[in-house]
Amino acid sequence: MKNLILLLGAPNDEKGNLSPIAIDRSKCAYNLYVNNNNMSFLCTGGFGEHFNKTNKPHAHYAKEFLIRMGVKENEFLPFVLSENTYEDFTKSKKMIEEIAPDVLFIVSSDFHMERVRLIHDKILGYPNVIFLAAGSTLSSEELLPLREHEKNAVRRLKQAGLEL
């Protein structure tokens, strides 16, 4: 039995330091990893003005963080060089289907999960999936614009017909 953790990307700074959002997601994924057997990681996140302006993909920094926490190097699959949540799924779909994990765990932020589920259901639709919402350590003030952004993004997706 082999399970897969799809760790969705989040911002890092110009030096590659993970943002609090990325750290929250990575810690959530790590806790899943250490408490279960036969887990592999598929980290998403390439480059983009809004989340990573360095010369290495965001997934590289997430992997480094997880290795420092104790994840073995051989537990990582090739990076998914995506620029947004939609691409997280379109660019990982083929690899996930080829691997055919017994269970696919999708890790993202609690405030992001509605959009993640919506896109997963339309693009990937993996039958054995568990969504794991990483609790946010951001303040209420910091979360407010993120929640508003997510609300608007979900509305736009639904208007575009991206719902089941």
Domain ranges of the chain: 3-159
Per-residue HEC secondary structure of 94-142 comes to HHHHHHCCCEEEEEEEHHHHHHHHHHHHHHHCCCCEEEEEECCCCCHHH
Taking the C-alpha atoms of residue 144 and residue 140, their distance in angstroms, rounded to an integer, is 6
Q: Helices in 18-81 by DSSP H: which ranges?
A: 20-34, 58-69
Q: What is residue 163's predicted lDDT score, i.e. its pLDDT?
A: 60
Taking the C-alpha atoms of residue 122 and residue 59, their distance in angstroms, rounded to an integer, is 24
What's the average pLDDT block by block, 10 residues per block, for the chain (164 residues)? 94 96 98 96 92 94 98 97 96 97 98 97 97 97 96 93 66
Q: What is residue 161's predicted lDDT score, i.e. its pLDDT?
A: 83
CATH no. of 3-159: 3.40.50.620
Closest CA to 107 of 133, 136, 71: 133
Q: What is residue 49's predicted lDDT score, i.e. its pLDDT?
A: 83
Closest CA to 7 of 80, 70, 68, 69: 80
